[in-house]
């Protein structure tokens, strides 16, 4: 497979964006876990594990909003 220079640059940019999104998500998990999950451990999570944690966080935030209890 051959790509033009523009296509290679776009591909590298897309990989960079994916990397940034994974790092952001990992750091967000660390924050939500209040140090219970290290950044190194968060970076080792699989896609499925990250999806599950995201759903748990969303569910907990909704519960917190509905109950009126402080979250932060």
pTM, two decimal places: 0.77
pLDDT tens-digit readout, 10-56: 999 999 999 999 999 999 999 988 889 999 999 999 999 999 999 99
CA dist 14 and 10 (Å) reads 6
CA dist 57 and 20 (Å) reads 20
Q: Are 27 and 39 in contact (CB under 8 A)?
A: yes
pLDDT tens-digit readout, 56-71: 989 988 988 888 877 6
CA dist 49 and 22 (Å) reads 12
Residue at token pair 């998990």: 29
């Amino acid at each position: 497979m051959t790509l033009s220079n523009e296509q290679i640059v776009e591909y590298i940019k897309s990989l960079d964006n994916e990397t940034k999104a994974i790092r952001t998500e990992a750091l967000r998990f660390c924050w939500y876990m209040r140090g219970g999950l290290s950044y190194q451990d968060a970076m080792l999570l699989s896609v499925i594990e990250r999806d599950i944690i995201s759903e748990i966080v969303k569910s907990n935030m909704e519960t917190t909003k509905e109950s009126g209890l402080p979250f932060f």
